[in-house]
Every structure is written in C-alpha cells, then in structure tokens.
C-alpha cells in the first residue's frame, strides 16, 4: 500500500519522526515499506478500499521504549495505534481507525512476569498470546486454567482490553483484569489499584485500590498504552461435567433462553453458555458450494439437510460445570429438572476428572479452527462481528433474532448468529461472512451492518464492540443527553493527550487535534 | 459551630451563594445555623477539634436541582461536599474533607425508581437507605435479597460508592453497581454503560457499555455527583446453610485463613467470611468497666473471662452458603473435610428453607446494633476504621495482626480487629474505639492511626478506605513513579472541575483551586 500520511504532516516531517523512532528501537523495528503497510492492514478488508491504512509500524521491546516512543510521537505529532498482537479479527485486526497512524506493535513485549498459583493470577506483557501462556502453564505443570476466545490467535491482554470472552467461569475476560501498568500519552507511567504502591502486595489481588478505580477506563480506550496487566486465572477444578443440548426449532430459544437466564442468575450455571446456530458447525466442516449454489441465502430445505448430516439442532449448546464433582452433580440435577418440562431430546453428558487427559475436559485449550469460517463462500473471505447486548429474555431475543435474520436475507447473505448468556445480559453475536474478492457482496455486507446498527439502536440495544469502520456510528448511538458520555470521554482524552497521539478515533473518541476525521 | 468560610470567599459572597441556592431548593432546605453546622460534622469527632467543619448544607430533591446547584456553585465558587445519607461512620460521617465546604445532602432524593425481579436489580436515588429498600422489598413481597453492611444506617448507593461490604454472595457492594447517572461538576448529566442510550434496554444489565467503562471512576471519587445508580440484587435462594466456628488461639488464623482462602478461590465459599475477634461480641453486650478498670489494655486473664462468659473463641466466624439445598449440602461437606485435619471444636450448623421466617436465614437484615461498639469506654464514644488490604495468606495475616495488636498496646487501647476474606484478598478491618470526651485518649487514637498507616505502607499494604483526616496520608502511600496515579487523578479532576467545586480533597484528590489545602 502506498504511503498515506497522518493529517497535516509533511513527508519530510514524517520521515524525521520515523528516524527518531529508529533511534529508540533500532532501524529493523521501524517497518515502513509498502509491504509492511499491507501487513498491518485489516486482513479482512477488500484490497481496493483505502480506509484504515497505517503509515508504518514501530515495535518496541520494553516499557521504557514505549514511553520514549510516546514522547517522540508528541514531539513529531505522529499518531500511534497500539496493538497487542493485532489479531482483533472481525473488528479491524491490526489496522488503525485513522489512516496515516503508525502501528505501535507490542507483540515483541511477551514476557510472562509472574504466575501465582496460590492466588490464581498472572502478570503479563501485551504480546503474550493464549498459546504462549497455555504452553507456559503446561510446561511448568501449573494447575491454572485459561479462559480462551473462540479464535485464540491473539493476545491474552488484548482480548481482555477489547472485552472478549471465553467459556469457563472466568469467561468475561475483561472482568479478570486486575492491576494495570499504563504508559499515558505523555509517556508517564502509572500503575493502578493496589499496584500503585511501589512495594504493593495486592496489585493483582484487589481490584479497586484507594479512590477512583482506573482499570476499566483503559479498556476499549485511547487514554493510554497498557504495558502490563494482571489477569486472574481459574484454579484447575477437581472435575468438569458437560450437558449438551440440541434444539430443533428456531423458536425454541424463547423458552430455552428463559430457563438458562434463571439458572445463570442463580449461579447454577456460571459460564457464558453459547447457543450457536447450525451454521457455526457447518462452516467449520466445509464450504457453501458443497450445499447450495443458487441465488439468495440458503433455503430452508438445505438447512435441514445440513443439520441432519452433522446431527445438529437448529440451536446447539453445551452447559459446562467446573468444580468439585459432588457440586457439579448437584447442579447438573437442577439443570436437568429445569429443562425437563420443555426438552424432549437427548442430553449428551460428558465427564472429566483431574488426572485424565485435558482434551476430555471442558478446559479452554487454544485453537484457531474457528478461522475456517471465512472460507464459507470461497475466494478470500472475511468476517465482521455485529454484537448488540440484550436483556436475558427469550421472547425479546427471538424477536431480535428474526429481525436480524430477515435483514441478512434482504441483503442476500446467510445468517450466522448466536447468543452468549451473561449473568444478566445476552450477547447476540452475528457473524457477517463474505468473500472480499466479490465487490458486490462486500458492499452488501457493509450495507447490512449499517442497517443492523440502526435497527439495534432503535430497539435500545447497544453494541459492546465493533469494527473500526463503525466505531463512530456505534458511539453516536449512545445518545443520552445529546451524547454527554462521548463529550466526557473527549474531555478526558484532551486532558490526557493534548496532541491526540494515542489511537485517535478509538471507540469513537476523537482528540481535538483530529476531530475533523470523525465519520 | 461558628461559620468557617471556604478559602478566599468573603462572608458577603458566601451569603450571595446561599441565597442563590435558596432560589433552587427553597429557603427551608439551605441549612446554615450554628446548630446545622454541628449536625453535619463528624459525630465521632472530639468537640474541640476545628477540622472538617461544614459552612452550611443544601438539600436538593431532584437531579435537576443538583444540576442547578452545581452551576451556581461554579458561579459563586462555593465547594460542595456530596453525601448520600451521611452515615459513613468511622470514616467521617457527613463531614467534609475541607472546612468551609457546603454539604450537598442528597438524603431527600430517596426514590426507588425500579426493581426488576427477573434480572435481579434495582435503580435507586442516593437517599434510599438499607431500611427503606428492605421495607420496600418486604411490603411488595419481592424475592430479592440485600447485601447489608454491619451498620445499616446508611445509603445503599453511598455504601457501594465507598466500597462497603455485606455478607452474602453479593457482598462486595461496589461490584454490584451497574449503570450510573452522574451530574458532572459542570452540571452536565451523563449516564454510563448501556444506559447512555436514551432508550437503552441493558443499562442495569451489562456493566461495561461501549468504550471506556466509567462506573468505578465515580467510586470514592470527586469527579461528579451520582444522582442514581443501578445495583444488582441476589434472587432469594431456596435455602441457606451456616457453619459456625470458634478458634481458641490467636495463632489459629494461620491455618484457618489458608483453608478459607483456598475454599474462597475455588468458590466453594462465595461470601466475604468475616473472622471477628472476641471483642466484637463483647462490645455489643456491655461496657468495658464491667470487666476491667485498671491501666493499659485489657489483660489476657480478663480476655479469657470474657470469652468464657459469652462462649466465644478468640476468633469466631460463620460460613454461610446460599442457593439450592443440595448444592449447599455438597459444599458444606467439602468445607467440613477441609477443616477436619485442623479443627477439633464444634461446628454449629444452621439451616433455613424458603418459606421459613427470614430471621432464621443467613439473609442480611438491616440493623444498627453494631453502633453499640462506641459505648465500650463510656463517655461519648467514637470509632475509626483502619482497613489495609492483604494477600490471603495465613502467616502474613497473623504477622500483621500481631504487629497491629502491639501498636494498640503501645498506645494503651484495646485491639479490636478482624479479617474479611475476599476472593483473592483479605481486608484487615481494625476498629479504633475511643471516648471522645477523653482528650488524651483521642490524641492516642490519632497517633495510633498514623503509626498504623506508616507500618502498613512499609509492608506494602494499602488502605481501601479511610477517614477524612487520613485521606492525604493514605493517597500519598500510593507512591509508584513519584505518585503518578495521584497526578493522573488530579489531571482529570482539573479537566472536569476547573473551579474545584465538587468534594475538594476527597480520596486525596485536590483540584487546582484548593491545592494549598492538602495536608
């Protein structure tokens, strides 16, 4: 990709900035060729689009280097876009919101600074991936378990900072953050919570500290660059127990989600149970053309054939229980009793006891199998996630599901949607899968996304996370008191980052220096 | 108390400000007599002290009135000190950090705006007390339970905003906050999280919203005035089961806390188990003089007599389980097995099933019996809480306990200390009880407090909450990178509150306008 400069920066000034960066990290870690720029773009973006194009990348190896780069970025007015490992796939990958930003690639900072078995936590640099941490725990026989997202290619901290989820009782990954080290836009280093004592003994143990608690302000944020973070890890349980369900009809989620909601609120279930539709499995096993090559989305008849072939219901989910076997058994009985009045199908029960092979357990083992989803249409595929938050109400969820499905149909795409049950909320994750070599399909995918955000805002559902291209639109949907929350965020942004050099536009938050770039 | 004006404000300017306040709330709700000032002082403060003296109080009845008062406070440069119900006893009560502040008393704002049984939450104004909410739930037979602090005189929201705790699985009250409405110092109103959508359906359901999450920034904070808040409530369980333990020796906490720590980390126990020493019970039942009138702290021999009389151990605690009876029973068995190798005493087991009188359950029913503690010495009593956060390690806790006990002895006071077990941290709550009519004892109480903060900081333990008089000292103990966290807080404070009119000095955060007032 050809160079697109940051706003109001000349080519010469930009080169002076990069030269200064080189003096911090060495010439080999300033990456500014056309190929480098391509590498850091959103890998799911159609090649002919010219948004979100980085001008270069710089890869520090230490917190001190991050601080030095921030100071130079202020001096040279070069906007930086921090990434951990850059695998925020479906939401923009490693690309920046604003073209001309320089990627601050933290993937070389991959030290595991501490793992504490007794208190159940680790302290990580942002470059540590799920595979790295998993390997470390395995190699050292440390009995702590990970909470891993469906696609585990990325950074442990990066995932938590984007509010990703896993599938254990620690599944709300952002809620496991405890104690951050952050380089502020000025380059000044802060530690949060109890870690703000130089010799603090509870930095990764107590979430709040004294006074306002900052951790969550650095999540989906451009107020600073997280250079290390504490994450809570679950102690290996004595046992796991899984109960697998398959629901035949789309409307079965009405009663099924209501049952799950009450069990979740009562903490009989303490994981983010995910109800995936049949397409989730189908996309892992083959391509669309094997099933259907006609016009429009897959017809009902073919849907039935796919479900039959893989022994799937329209909806499929597994409730996993983690803990002492006697407690798991007691909870399993309560779950069976709750489903008995409605559910006539088989409940597939799986068991694991400590000592048996981990693969037979409900432990989250990192995998990237899910990436297979992008091959569904053929061509070079892409996906985007549309993820509004709903109340845990079956009827409301079904209405939203049906409305969403109709929108997909309207735009000629296959609906791939599911629900993840939080304690009091439902995440309705919809994947928009497309072939990015097909210009028309890509256009329809974006039009669909716009329609879905508008529909959701009208219904009172906000997205918890979105692709770079929709950050302004989603931020704008938070409209109480004429967007007072956005003004608050931008007041703080301007106070902490007067030159606007950290991640301008992230989550719709624009610093004064670049406010003209808002969509 | 005679009038102490805010810094740099003339008597005439102050009166003009109050007159403006009167036009908002009516003359009867601006309280500025000597008696009014006395009423809002710290009720546990010795009468001859002249710190933390309010200049007046103003009591709005609505969010709109709060906003109008904030705008006027900016115009007239009058600092406001917001209180919910003013019952932050032991930490300063209703008094302000800075003398001359006008108390913004929100206790007239006591609407219960919403209670949602299905999703388990309520939406409250800050004046709603634990007794109010309890009564509302009882009167309307709403099967949701409260998490209530030991002294339940205060505001539900106020307690959460000061990080108070209760004794159910929802015991970390600040963690139950979800979705705030906040009047910023400018008077502008924001809503946080999903509630920042005007028609948002998940404001009290999903904690984070989109972008940085603000709720915890308004906790122990002076960044705004919380005018309403969502709080999660626990669904009434099928059953509760209690296991009562009494440990004879002080050193028994070494193994007992280690056992509790593992059970808590594994979520066999999911409440903040509180290990109170024998004095906790003794102070509820009578006065010190009945036992001992000699010099120095209570001798060991007398301690033994007190424990015998009330059938107490040196340490006493009850583990309460809430949920389905079968699950409680399974967890109780695991707990008994864990204690069996060490514990030879009786385990007092208590049971409650839904339908039986609530008083027999482990439900938290509001009470103020604990206030009796201040009568221990005779005279007009007072107490202050010293509350450092420790790792969940028995040996470390015992070392801290012994060091603290020796400090109390050194200053001639009775040690009243206990531990509350979080999932990964121990709160070491020590009450300093004194007779505020005894000038020498009061002086020793303060000297002891100073020594304890210094000791804790040296050991790496930060306080999670402290009395007005120690806010600067405690904030100062968070010293990483030359107090970078405090600088961050004050940068944001100055950006949001350029005139410094909201709660100057709260949690050690001083706005530019009053920075000369720092201790």
% residues pLDDT > 90 (chain B): 92
Question: How would residue A321 be classed by pLDDT, with cut points 50, 70 and 90?
Answer: very high
**Own/partner long-range contacts of A436-442 (Cβ < 8 Å, ≥24 apart):** A436/A44, A436/A45, A436/A46, A436/A47, A436/A379, A436/A380, A436/A381, A436/A382, A437/A46, A437/A379, A437/A380, A438/A377, A438/A379, A439/A46, A439/A48, A441/A377, A441/A412, A441/A413, A442/A46, A442/A382
Q: Are B188 and A466 in contact (CB < 8 Å)?
A: no
Tell me the C-alpha to C-alpha distance, in Å, between residue B147 and each of A204, A293, B170, B421.
Answer: 25, 58, 6, 16
Beta strands in B328-415 (DSSP E): 348-353, 381-386, 389-391
DSSP state of B40: T
Q: Are B392 and A202 in contact (CB < 8 Å)?
A: no
Quote the CA–CA distance of B266 and B244 in Å, as a whole number: 20
- Residues of B within 8 A of A508 (CB-CB) are 210-211
Q: Are B481 and A190 in contact (CB < 8 Å)?
A: yes
Catalytic-role residue among A121, A408, A464, A514: A464
Rounded mean pLDDT, B342-353? 97
Quote the CA–CA distance of A137 and A143 in Å, as a whole number: 7
Which string of b and e fits A176-204 if b means at least 16 CB within 10 Å? bbbbbbbbbbbbbbbbbbbbbbeebbbbb
% residues pLDDT > 70 (chain A): 100
Rounded mean pLDDT, B121-144? 98
Facing B210 at nearest CB: one of A268, A333, A474: A474
Q: pLDDT (tens digit, 9 = 90+) per residue, B447-497?
A: 999 999 999 999 999 999 999 999 999 999 999 999 999 999 999 999 999
pLDDT at A273 over 80: yes
- Write down the pLDDT at residue A151: 87
- Residues of B within 8 A of A458 (CB-CB) are 199
The closest of B321, B278, B284 to B302, measured between CA atoms, is B278
Facing B217 at nearest CB: one of A194, A217, A232: A217
H-helix or E-strand spanning residue A453: helix A439-459
Catalytic, B465? Answer yes
Q: Are B120 and A424 in contact (CB < 8 Å)?
A: yes
CATH topology of domain B112-235: 3.30.465
- Write down the pLDDT at residue A226: 98
Facing A464 at nearest CB: one of B210, B391, B495: B210
The closest of B42, B38, B46 to B445, measured between CA atoms, is B46
Taking the CA of residue B57 and the nearest CA in chain A, the distance in Å comes to: 24
| Helix B253-265, helix B394-410: angle, nearest 10 | 130
- Residues of B within 8 A of A268 (CB-CB) are 323-324, 327
Distance of CA A77 to the CA centre of its chain: 29
Beta strands in B202-277 (DSSP E): 225-232, 234-235, 239-247, 273-277
Tokens of A312: 């799937």
Question: How would residue B443 be classed by pLDDT, with cut points 50, 70 and 90?
Answer: very high
Q: Are B478 and A197 in contact (CB < 8 Å)?
A: yes
What's the ipTM? 0.97
pLDDT at B440 over 90: yes
Q: Name which of B230, B424, B454 to mutate to probe chain A: the one with the most chain A Cβ atoms within 10 A of its Cβ.
A: B424
Report the first-to-last Cα separation within chain A, whole angstroms: 22
Strands A225-232 and A177-183: antiparallel
| Helix B63-76, helix B11-25: angle, nearest 10 | 160
Tokens of A450: 């716009």
The closest of B157, B181, B160 to B64, measured between CA atoms, is B181
Q: Name A58's bridge partners.
A: A30, A104
Q: Are B208 and A466 in contact (CB < 8 Å)?
A: no
- Residues of A within 8 A of B64 (CB-CB) are none
Facing B485 at nearest CB: one of A191, A422, A479: A191
Taking the CA of residue A135 and the nearest CA in chain B, the distance in Å comes to: 23
pLDDT at A271 over 80: yes
Catalytic-role residue among A40, A91, A121, A434: A91
Q: Are A118 and B261 in contact (CB < 8 Å)?
A: yes
Sign of CA dihedral A36, A38, A39, A40: positive
- Write down the pLDDT at residue A284: 87
H-helix or E-strand spanning residue B179: strand B177-183
A290-304, A343-357, B171-185: which range is least confident on average? A290-304
**CATH of segment(s) A239-471:** 3.40.462.10
- Residues of B within 8 A of A496 (CB-CB) are 488, 491-492
pLDDT at B21 over 80: yes
pLDDT at A295 over 80: yes
H-helix or E-strand spanning residue B433: strand B425-435
Tokens of B461: 């333990």
Chain B residue at shortest CA distance from A323: B266
Please state the domain extents for chain B: 11-105, 112-235, 239-471, 479-517
Q: Are A265 and B192 in contact (CB < 8 Å)?
A: no
Q: What is the mean pLDDT of chain A?
A: 96
Q: pLDDT (tens digit, 9 = 90+) per residue, B180-211?
A: 999 999 999 999 999 999 999 999 999 999 99
| Helix B300-310, helix B278-285: angle, nearest 10 | 70
CB neighbours (10 Å) of residue B185? 25
- Residues of B within 8 A of A454 (CB-CB) are none
Rounded mean pLDDT, B75-81? 98
Catalytic, B91? Answer yes
pLDDT at A46 over 80: no
Taking the CA of residue B404 and the nearest CA in chain A, the distance in Å comes to: 17
Concatenate the DSSP letters of all residues of A28-62 into one string. GGEE-SHHHHHHTS-TTS-TT--SS--SEEE--SS
- Write down the pLDDT at residue B297: 85
Catalytic-role residue among B40, B464, B470, B514: B464
Rounded mean pLDDT, A20-37? 97
More confident residue, B50 or A460: A460
Taking the CA of residue A400 and the nearest CA in chain B, the distance in Å comes to: 13
H-helix or E-strand spanning residue A71: helix A63-76
For residue A8, the SS3 value is: coil
Chain A residue at shortest CA distance from B198: A480
Quote the CA–CA distance of B487 and B510 in Å, as a whole number: 10
Taking the CA of residue A506 and the nearest CA in chain B, the distance in Å comes to: 8
More confident residue, A110 or B297: A110
Q: CB under 8 Å to B209, separation ≥6 — which residues?
A: A462, A464, A478, A485, B192, B193, B194, B195, B196
Question: How would residue B142 be classed by pLDDT, with cut points 50, 70 and 90?
Answer: very high
Quote the CA–CA distance of B387 and A209 in Å, as a whole number: 12
Quote the CA–CA distance of B450 and B22 in Å, as a whole number: 41
Catalytic-role residue among B91, B134, B398, B408: B91
Quote the CA–CA distance of A171 and A364 in Å, as a whole number: 10
Quote the CA–CA distance of A149 and A166 in Å, as a whole number: 5
Q: Are A201 and B121 in contact (CB < 8 Å)?
A: no
Q: Name which of A97, A335, A459, A478 to mutate to probe chain B: the one with the most chain B Cβ atoms within 10 A of its Cβ.
A: A478
Question: How would residue A1 be classed by pLDDT, with cut points 50, 70 and 90?
Answer: confident
CATH topology of domain A11-105: 3.30.43
Q: Are A212 and B220 in contact (CB < 8 Å)?
A: yes
Q: Are B266 and A235 in contact (CB < 8 Å)?
A: yes
More confident residue, B370 or A394: A394
Q: Could you name the CATH architecture of A479-517?
A: Orthogonal Bundle (1.10)
What are the backbone dihedrals phi and psi of residue B102, each rounded to the nearest 5 degrees, phi first?
A: -100, 125
Quote the CA–CA distance of B313 and B276 in Å, as a whole number: 10
Rounded mean pLDDT, B396-405? 97
- Residues of A within 8 A of B329 (CB-CB) are 330
Taking the CA of residue B475 and the nearest CA in chain A, the distance in Å comes to: 7
Q: pLDDT (tens digit, 9 = 90+) per residue, B351-363?
A: 999 999 999 999 9
Sign of CA dihedral A213, A215, A219, A223: positive
Quote the CA–CA distance of A375 and A357 in Å, as a whole number: 31
pLDDT at A47 over 90: no
Which string of b and e fits B299-338 if b means at least 16 CB within 10 Å? eeeebeebbeeeebbbbbbbbbbbbbbbbbbbbbebbeeb
Quote the CA–CA distance of A103 and A56 in Å, as a whole number: 6
Distance of CA A285 to the CA centre of its chain: 23
Q: Name which of B70, B165, B183, B208 to mutate to probe chain A: the one with the most chain A Cβ atoms within 10 A of its Cβ.
A: B208
Q: Are B184 and A460 in contact (CB < 8 Å)?
A: no
pLDDT at A120 over 80: yes
Give the sheet arrangement for strand B112-116, strand by strand.
B112-116, B121-124, B225-232, B177-183, B189-191
- Helix, strand, coil percent values for chain A (each to nearest 5): 40, 20, 40
- Write down the pLDDT at residue A369: 87
Chain B residue at shortest CA distance from A392: B119
Q: Are B218 and A211 in contact (CB < 8 Å)?
A: no
pLDDT at B56 over 90: yes
Angle CA B512–B514–B515, to nearest 5? 65
- Residues of B within 8 A of A221 (CB-CB) are 211-212
Taking the CA of residue B131 and the nearest CA in chain A, the distance in Å comes to: 24
Tokens of B237: 């369980």
Question: How would residue B280 be classed by pLDDT, with cut points 50, 70 and 90?
Answer: confident
- Write down the pLDDT at residue B65: 98
Catalytic, A465? Answer yes
Q: Name B225's bridge partners.
A: B183
Q: Are A197 and B460 in contact (CB < 8 Å)?
A: yes
A435-439, B44-48, B348-352: which range is least confident on average? B44-48
Taking the CA of residue B487 and the nearest CA in chain A, the distance in Å comes to: 9
Q: Are B198 and A479 in contact (CB < 8 Å)?
A: yes
Taking the CA of residue B208 and the nearest CA in chain A, the distance in Å comes to: 8
Residue B57 contacts residue B86 (beta carbons within 8 Å): no
Chain B residue at shortest CA distance from A220: B211
Q: CB under 8 Å to B495, separation ≥6 — which residues?
A: A491, A492, A494, A495
Report the first-to-last Cα separation within chain B, whole angstroms: 22
């Amino acid at each position: 990709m050809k160079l697109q400069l940051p706003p109001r920066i000349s080519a010469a000034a930009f080169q002076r900035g990069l030269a200064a960066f080189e003096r911090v990290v060495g010439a080999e870690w300033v990456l500014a060729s056309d190929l480098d720029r391509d590498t850091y773009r959103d890998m799911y973006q159609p090649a002919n689009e010219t948004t979100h194009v980085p001008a270069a990348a710089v890869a520090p190896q230490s917190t001190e280097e991050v601080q030095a780069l921030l100071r130079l970025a202020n001096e040279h007015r070069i906007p930086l876009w921090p990434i951990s490992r850059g695998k925020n796939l479906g939401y923009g990958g490693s690309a920046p919101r604003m073209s001309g930003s320089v990627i601050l690639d933290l993937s070389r900072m991959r030290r595991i600074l501490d793992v504490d078995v007794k208190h159940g936590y680790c302290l990580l640099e942002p470059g540590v991936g799920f595979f790295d941490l998993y390997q470390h725990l395995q190699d050292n026989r440390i009995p702590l378990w990970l909470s891993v997202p469906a696609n585990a290619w990325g950074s442990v901290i990066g995932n938590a900072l984007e509010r990703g989820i896993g599938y254990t009782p620690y599944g709300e990954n952002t809620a496991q953050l405890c104690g951050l080290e952050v380089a502020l836009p000025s380059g000044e280093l802060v530690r949060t919570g109890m870690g703000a004592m130089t010799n603090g003994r509870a930095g990764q143990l107590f979430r709040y500290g004294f006074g306002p608690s900052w951790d969550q302000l650095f999540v989906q944020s451009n107020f600073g660059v997280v250079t290390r973070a504490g994450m809570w890890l679950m102690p290996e349980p004595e046992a796991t127990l899984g109960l697998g369900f398959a629901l035949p009809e789309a409307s079965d989620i009405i009663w099924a989600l209501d049952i799950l909601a009450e069990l979740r609120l009562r903490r009989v279930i303490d994981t983010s149970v995910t109800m995936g539709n049949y397409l989730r499995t189908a996309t892992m096993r083959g391509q669309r053309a094997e099933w259907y090559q006609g016009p429009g989305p897959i017809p009902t008849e073919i849907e039935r054939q796919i479900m039959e072939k893989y022994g799937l219901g329209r909806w499929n989910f597994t409730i996993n229980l983690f803990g002492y076997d006697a407690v798991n058994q007691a909870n399993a009985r309560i779950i069976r009793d709750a489903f008995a009045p409605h559910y006539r199908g088989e409940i597939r029960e799986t068991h694991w006891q400590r000592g048996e092979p981990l693969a037979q357990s409900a432990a989250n083992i990192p995998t990237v199998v899910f990436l297979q989803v992008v091959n569904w249409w053929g061509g070079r595929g892409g996906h985007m996630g549309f993820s509004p938050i709903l109340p845990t109400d079956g009827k409301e969820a079904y209405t939203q599901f049906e409305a969403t499905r109709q929108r997909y149909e309207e735009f000629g795409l296959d609906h791939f949607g599911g629900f993840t049950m939080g304690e009091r909320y439902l995440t309705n994750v919809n994947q928009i899968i497309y072939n990015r070599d097909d210009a028309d399909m890509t256009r329809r995918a974006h039009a669909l996304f716009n329609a879905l955000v508008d529909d959701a805002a009208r219904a009172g559902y906000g997205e918890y996370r979105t692709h770079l291209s929709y950050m302004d639109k989603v931020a704008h949907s938070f409209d109480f008191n004429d967007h007072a929350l956005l003004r608050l965020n931008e007041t703080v942004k301007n106070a902490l980052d007067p030159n606007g050099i950290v991640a301008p536009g992230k989550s719709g938050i624009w610093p004064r220096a670049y406010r003209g770039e808002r969509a």
